[in-house]
Amino acid sequence: MKSADIDALVSFDQQHLWHPYASMHNPPPAYPVVAAEGARLRLADGRELIDGMSSWWSAIHGYNHPVLNQAASAQLATMSHVMFGGITHPPAVALGRKLLEICPPGLSRIFYSDSGSVAVEVAIKMAFQYWLGQGQHQRSKLLTVRNGYHGDTFGAMSVCDPVNGMHHLFQPIMQQHLFAEAPGCAFDEAFTEDHVADVKRLLLQHNDVIAALIIEPIVQGAGGMRFYSPAYLQRLRQLCDEYGILLIADEIATGFGRSGKLFACEHAAISPDILCLGKAITGGYLSFAATLCTDNVAEKVCSGEAGALMHGPTFMANPLACAVAGASIDLLLSQNWHANVQRIEALLKQHLAPAREFATVADVRVLGAIGVLEMKQPVDMVSIQRRFVDNGIWVRPFGKLVYIMPPYVISDTELVTLAANLVKVVATP
């Protein structure tokens, strides 16, 4: 693009287009991307960036993948959309069959929706209607842990961390839930019963009003990028069973291999009562999500006054998204994805390790295809992102967290460059 055209594009963007968590008073810089291929983004000025974000966890196969392009083109030639009310179609059924084959056992019913936040909203409705169907109207609270993140819509936001989730801004109009201490045992640390003491305390005190416990399995994402012990998750499953409440697993960020298992629940060998999927489900091509539940949950939901789950998005089970999601799952499973994620994990551990020596870095941690540098102080987003771009990489930090989750197609050379340049930028005050 010509320089004048780039300037006009950016000017319009900054004057009229809102970006995530951005102010219109003083909008941050936006870097114009005009093409993407594999693990690279091409800017309007011709520069190429190695993508460290997979477009917020979603583009696991990279960009412009011929298999996913073909799936989208083939479905477009048939129909891009048809309402799901009173109608079904082959892509929805085919995707459903795939999901039930690969998801944790016991899940048998699927609700398609538009985004991860909506998948969580649906899960919350399922949990409440489950109890309404049994005449227990008092069960109107959710139990969760601090440092979690489940989305930006009101129901999802209500179970995000109450501090960094900015609850105080919306407290007068947002439902209040129960928060236990965040998991205190790292992924490779020994679990003790003390780690769930606060969860047990809240269960004991409030069991009669709790509908479900909702948690991100193993990896707490945007709430802190923390990895916790599988034994902790196993104990939560046991406690939910002991107290007779539902377990909701939010695998929107971790589903489809990111943590080193196809689903993070597999680290703990547990199955939830309700499972939320999104982000990587279409390989980053389209916004799409799914909420799965057991026969028991579905039966109780539909036994209440409403007689149905009270939700129905306009673009529910969009055929185009279903077709691409099915192709993305097939593509993932056709490869040795587990060995590939192990490759990424090993290289991240090796090439992020030098940052442990920096006085500004509090911790370096890696799990699967996720690498995290936790700083001692919040980073200056505008400054550090400009330096990342100048060094040919795309990284989007927040707060104290500088993290990457690259596309699975990233080459060794690209990954080493990504990690080395990230460390280089962080090393510079």
Judge whether 359 lies within some domain. yes
Judge whether 193 lies within some domain. yes
CB 85 within 8 A of CB 312: yes
What does pTM read for this prediction?
A: 0.97
Q: Note whether 49 and 138 are same-domain residues.
A: no
Average pLDDT over residues 118-136: 98
pLDDT bin (cut points 50, 70, 90) of residue 428 is confident
Judge whether 227 lies within some domain. yes
Selected catalytic residue, list 51, 114, 161, 250:
250
Write out the H or E segment, with its range, that includes residue 119: helix 116-132
Judge whether 12 lies within some domain. no
Q: For position 54, what pLDDT does the model report?
A: 98
Chain segment 101-113, per-residue pLDDT in tens: 999 999 999 999 9
Chain segment 140-172, per-residue pLDDT in tens: 999 999 999 999 999 999 999 988 766 778 888
Judge whether 19 lies within some domain. no
C-alpha dihedral (65, 68, 69, 74), degrees to nearest 10? 160
CATH of the domain at 423: 3.90.1150.10
What lies within 8 Å, CB to CB, of 311 at 6+ separation is 111, 113, 121, 122, 125
Judge whether 16 lies within some domain. no
Angle between helices 319-333 and 90-102 (to 10 degrees): 40
CB 254 within 8 A of CB 220: no
Q: For position 101, what pLDDT does the model report?
A: 98
CB 240 within 8 A of CB 169: no
Judge whether 21 lies within some domain. no
Classified as helix, coil or strand, 316 is coil
Selected catalytic residue, list 63, 112, 130, 149:
149
Judge whether 20 lies within some domain. no
Q: For position 171, what pLDDT does the model report?
A: 82
Q: Note whether 114 and 193 are same-domain residues.
A: yes
Q: For position 110, what pLDDT does the model report?
A: 98
Chain segment 334-369, per-residue pLDDT in tens: 999 999 999 999 999 999 999 999 999 999 999 999
Q: For position 429, what pLDDT does the model report?
A: 74
Chain segment 210-242, per-residue pLDDT in tens: 999 999 999 999 889 999 999 999 999 999 999
21 catalytic residue (yes or no):
yes
Selected catalytic residue, list 7, 21, 208, 390:
21
From 333, 366, 391, the end of a domain falls on: 333
Q: Note whether 307 and 173 are same-domain residues.
A: yes
Selected catalytic residue, list 261, 279, 300, 400:
279
Task: Provide the domain limits for residue 46.
Answer: 31-64+336-427
Q: Note whether 246 and 266 are same-domain residues.
A: yes
User: Mean pLDDT over all residues of the chain?
Assistant: 96
CB 150 within 8 A of CB 250: yes
**Length of the chain measured in residues:** 429
